[in-house]
Amino acid sequence: MAEFELYCFGESGNAYKAALMLNLAGLEWDARFVDFFNGEARSEAYLSQVNEMGEVPVLLHGPVKLSQTGVILEYLAQRSGAFGPHDEDERREILRWILFDNHKLTANIATLRFLLQFAHSGETEVTKFLRGRAQAALKITEQHLAGGPFIVGGRPTIAD
């Protein structure tokens, strides 16, 4: 049995971020695939035993159970010594960009992608709004990256 277990499904960008970190950090882990599209994450068992928020990813590490991608990435960086901050200033800057990603980028892109690719909504006023928000966040990110190839500190971190 691997040291880490990740509740995930292939279509989840947030689960991908956690799985990528586990792989890049060289950590032993197993995937626990969640049948998200058939309602497993909204089932009473999942909500009561895995994640009350009804989301993936969820990381298990011994007695530790974590949800929310930013928290998982920060935990894995601490445990592995890979892709974390070098000091408190970097820690705050990494956190700033993770929160920006969660609020402005991933939230809009993931919802847009779900509506278009899985719900087959077609173009609507909602998808136009989400696309505009995503494009604005991408523009901010691109402008920041004009100063170097990584988000924080000139090297890859969990903010990337």
Average pLDDT over residues 31-59: 98
C-alpha dist (Å) from residue 34 to 6, 24, 41, 42:
10, 22, 7, 11
What percent of the chain has pLDDT above 70? 100
42 within 8 A of 67, measured Cβ to Cβ: no
pLDDT in tens, 49-96: 999 999 999 999 999 999 999 999 999 999 999 999 999 999 999 999
Average pLDDT over residues 124-133: 98
Q: Is the pLDDT of residue 1 over 90?
A: no
Q: Name residues whose C-beta falls within 8 Å of residue 68's C-beta, 6 or more positions apart in sequence.
A: 53, 55
